[in-house]
Amino acid sequence: MGKKQSWKVFWLLFLLYMFDYMDRMVIVSLFPFLQQDMGLTDAQCGFLVSAVYWSILIFSFPVSILVDRWSRTKSISIMAALWSMATLACAFTKNFSQLIITRAAIGIGEAGYAPGGTAMLSANFPRKQRARILGLWNASIPLGSALGIGIGGYVAHHFGWRHAFGLVAFPGLILALMFYFVKDYKTIQLTKKEKTGKQIKMQFIDMARQFTHNKTLLCNNLAFALNVFITTSLLTWLPTYFHRFDNLAMDKAGMKAGSIMVLAIIGAPLGGYLSDQWLKKRENARLLFPAISSILTGILLYIAFAFLQGNAQYMVLFLIGITAVGFVPSGVAVTQDVVHPGLCAVSLSLNIIIQHLLGSSLAPIVIGRLSDAYGLDTALTILPVFAFLAGILLFIGSFFYKKDLYVE
């Protein structure tokens, strides 16, 4: 595939990921309206976010196998159409149970998108640019989250919460149709080299060893989950935090939270760029860089929620908007670096399963329950612990990267 076509694919994937997160996160700015209409607790609001991640957790692995072995473009197109229609269906729900079901349906559609998109980008761009390209692509996550939170709060405040779901759903359907006609790349055969030099077909046990004997992946994926716990907590609860403690209307609270999250547009590409630059001098830079960014995020989180309020807190949270996602491009690139090219989507799906199982599916509920019991301000003070643990795991993983690196 030519350079021009590769960048065309990139921008379509970028826009799809942006609307993926708009659809996923629009609900967090609707919490006060849903609590008023349906009488929900903070924990129940957290469940509405976690429902998406539970579906992704369940369906990510089987869908990623389909992506790797069938068609990436058609799989992504179908998934995008499904999550967009499920988002639209949220606008017509009448109670908590119906809303949980439709939110879970969004997750089914989104289950294979990240593995499929990552596999396509890994195939279209060289390894030396991988973290940089994935960093740019992952910048669509905070952009989509910020737009979803900001637009959702504004639309709900002025026109009603149901309109917010409808507004973010339609663009995804259009992009899904466009992506259906994108040229796919050839499916990579799963082979391994014998001592004689002959290539033979990989058996299931050979594929399993790619993951079970890989200490780099273990440390990387666990650290990824801990960092995702932090980012999901902030995405989910910052609008409500500003609504309660800064006494802001939800449209303004959503905009304020969105302004912090959107700074990850700087953090994700910057993290990928710095990691790739350091990679030229140090082979395990893709583990060391996110280790440093995780520790820095932990320090800033501790300062922000333990000591500060008002404008001073807001400025530190601005910095966290940049540092908290510095781990993403390197972490995703590592999932591609240390496995067979034919298992790229499966490798990322394993990462997604772990990050959702231990991170994003738990974060909204854990923080919600702690908020119900002790207050939201107290609940958020646990986040630095997760950042420090992630940094330690990544540092440990850096010692195994060279050995685990896949060489054709």
Whose CA is closest to 225, among 294, 288, 122, 169?
A: 294
| pLDDT computed for residue 199 by the predictor | 46
Cα 122 from Cα 130, distance rounded (Å): 7
| pLDDT computed for residue 118 by the predictor | 77
Structural contact between residues 29 and 149, judged by C-beta atoms closer than 8 angstroms: yes
What pTM, to 2 d.p., does this model score? 0.75
Whose CA is closest to 359, among 318, 331, 320?
A: 331
| pLDDT computed for residue 103 by the predictor | 93
The CATH architecture one would assign to domain 3-182+193-404 is Up-down Bundle (1.20)
| pLDDT computed for residue 120 by the predictor | 79
DSSP one-letter string for 30-55: GHHHHHHHH---HHHHHHHHHHHHHH
Q: How many residues does the chain have?
A: 408
**Gyration radius of the chain over CA positions:** 20
| pLDDT computed for residue 128 by the predictor | 74
Q: Where are the alpha helices (DSSP H) in 39-160?
A: 42-69, 72-90, 96-110, 113-124, 130-138, 140-159
| pLDDT computed for residue 196 by the predictor | 46
Cα 56 from Cα 29, distance rounded (Å): 22
Kindly list the domain boundaries of the chain, sorted by start residue: 3-182+193-404
**Per-residue model confidence as pLDDT tens for the chain (408 residues):** 567 778 888 898 899 999 988 998 899 889 889 999 998 888 898 889 888 888 888 887 777 666 666 677 788 888 889 889 999 999 999 999 999 999 999 988 777 777 778 777 877 787 777 777 877 887 788 788 888 888 888 898 889 899 999 888 888 889 888 888 877 666 554 444 544 444 445 554 555 566 667 889 999 999 999 999 999 999 889 989 999 999 888 888 888 988 888 887 788 888 888 988 998 899 899 999 999 999 999 999 999 999 988 899 999 999 999 999 899 888 988 888 887 776 766 777 788 888 888 998 899 999 999 999 999 999 999 999 999 999 999 999 999 988 878 665
